Structure 1
Amino acid sequence: MTSRKLIYIIDDERDICDIVSRELSAYNFDVETFLTGAQVKQALQVKSPDLCIVDLGLPDIDGIELVKSLCEQANMGVMILSGRDGVTDRILGLELGADDYIVKPFIPRELVARVNSLFRRFKKNHHEQETSVSKIAQFAGWRYDPSTLTLSGVLSCNVKESGGEEIGQGSELSSAEHELLMLLLHSPKKILSRDQLLGERVSPFDRSIDVRMSRVRKKIESNPKQPTLIKTVYGVGYILTTDVEWI
């Protein structure tokens, strides 16, 4: 039997905590609720959940700062559940690495569907890492290791002779950035539509792919405002313009 997923709910409205907790528990999730950021930070020192559902309007800490902190932790999903429905808040939350953004008022059953969708994506990503643990993608002077989510630079002139030389410490991608980059790396020089890149997300925020793509571009493009590696095909989607070698 597979272990039940643990979900932390962080919301200062006790009624919201009760509704979400009751709905998720009915679908065999283990749930713990917290009314403040301080409470969940203390709990995280003892045990990490599989997913955090975070309200942005917390009484003791800026919800965006909490989201940023949670997204920096490995092997944890982050979903924002907030009454803030402005475009700026949504884009900022996604830019920081949140995996989904749901606006209050919400339909509890839809929230469960989105949670299930996230876990299916996480499982797929984990499977990709396990099956390609020895495979590293090399492209346009970059090397990406899916097993560690690490992107590092190489000296392209030495790639064939010595396997390349790493430049600096490299950077670690978030799970959302990893998912997007892997789709592109497995389909170089092919146009991928937004629907293909969105996968099975439920009722997706239509800017989410653009925001995530912008984050990936900042890590691999010499000039993200004039990208040459990941180009936009207007009205269609995106294309990775370079060859990819798996070593």
Structure 2
Amino acid sequence: MRQHIFIVEDDPNIREIVKAYLVKEGYEVSVVGDAESAWAYAEKQQPDMWILDIMLPGMDGYELCKRIRQTSEVPIIIISAKDEEVDKILGLELGSDDYLTKPFSPRELVARVKRLFRRLQPLETKSIQAATIEVGSLVINHNERRVFWHGNEVDVTSKEYDLIYHLVRNENRAFSREELLTLVWGDDYFGSDRAVDDLVKRLRKKMDGVPLETVWGYGYRLRQEEAT
């Protein structure tokens, strides 16, 4: 079954060019020119990936990204003419997985689409670590990508899971923010390390007392002993 990508872009030339490149790569592609139409579709069915422009008539791409992320963890790529760091950070904090600035090469967008889909392949097929990892009251079922804190399952996003998984696998090791950016977003990500701080903040809120420590001026680590 072909993966379905939904493009929300008000410039008909851009959306048709991007659609043509993605269709050539074997993807099923739908396009609309406004966020309201896209949201009406999303309420009924989610595609396998969203590509969102920011500057849209009516509801903007940031608001659409926020709404999608409230109900779905499918990958979201934001494309925008805005190249300010604050705009990229906002997009990432609202839940996007990547941010591409206009003008861009359609081939680069296709490469990023492929990279995101590769990272979402079922991890149990990659002949890697044990299925269950425990650090005190924190338990991760890696094959199912599920997190448990004091016996209760925690609802985490894909990036929250990736971050806590890497920290659990390396308990007591301090990771720099730059290392965590690469582990969670990939080595071709160029953005602020505030994205890491935001993930940590959300995990601490969801797991009160989790021994996720700040290493001041450097990054974070997960202690073996639980916080009191």
- Which band: TM-score by shorter chain? 0.7 to 0.9
For residues 48 and 129 of structure 1, do their structure 2 counterparts lie closer, same or farther at Cα, with a shift above 3 Å needed?
farther
SS at the partner of 2:40? helix
What do residues 33-56 of structure 1 show as CA deviations (whole Å, max 9, x unaligned)? 110112112323443211000111
Once the two structures are superposed, the pairs formed by residues 56-67 of structure 1 within 5 Å of their partners are 56-67=54-65
Report if aligned partners of 2:89, 2:191 keep a CA contact under 8 Å in 1.
no
What do residues 193-245 of structure 1 show as CA deviations (whole Å, max 9, x unaligned)? 534651473631231x54134323342279x9xx962334746x54323369x
Q: What is the alpha-carbon root mean square deviation over aligned residues?
A: 3.3
- Aligned with residue 205 of structure 1, among 164, 169, 190: 190
SS at the partner of 1:72? helix
Provide the residue aligned with 1:231 in structure 2: 214
Report if aligned partners of 1:180, 1:197 keep a CA contact under 8 Å in 2.
no
- Aligned with residue 214 of structure 1, among 198, 218, 223: 198
Q: Work out whether 1:184 is the aligned partner of 2:180.
A: no
What letter is aligned with 1:201? G
Provide the residue aligned with 2:115 in structure 1: 117
SS at the partner of 1:71? helix
Q: Work out whether 1:10 is the aligned partner of 2:8.
A: yes
Q: 1:214, 1:196 → 2: CA distance?
A: 12
TM-score, normalised by the number of residues in structure 1: 0.74
The count of aligned residue pairs is: 221
For residues 143 and 201 of structure 1, do their structure 2 counterparts lie closer, same or farther at Cα, with a shift above 3 Å needed?
closer
SS at the partner of 1:97? coil
Once the two structures are superposed, the pairs formed by residues 1-247 of structure 1 within 5 Å of their partners are 3-123=1-121, 126-128=122-124, 135-139=131-135, 141-146=137-142, 151=147, 153-154=149-150, 166=152, 171-193=154-176, 194-195=178-179, 197-199=181-183, 201=186, 203-207=188-192, 209-220=193-204, 229-232=212-215, 234=217, 238-242=220-224
What letter is aligned with 2:104? F
What letter is aligned with 1:84? K
Structure 2 gap ranges (5+): none
What letter is aligned with 2:123? H
Report if aligned partners of 2:134, 2:140 keep a CA contact under 8 Å in 1.
yes
Report if aligned partners of 1:149, 1:174 keep a CA contact under 8 Å in 2.
no
Structure 1 gap ranges (5+): 155-163
SS at the partner of 2:71? coil
TM-score, normalised by the number of residues in structure 2: 0.80
For residues 81 and 39 of structure 1, do their structure 2 counterparts lie closer, same or farther at Cα, with a shift above 3 Å needed?
same
> 4+ residue stretches of structure 1 with deviation over 3 A?
128-132, 134-153, 232-235
Q: 1:218, 1:131 → 2: CA distance?
A: 30
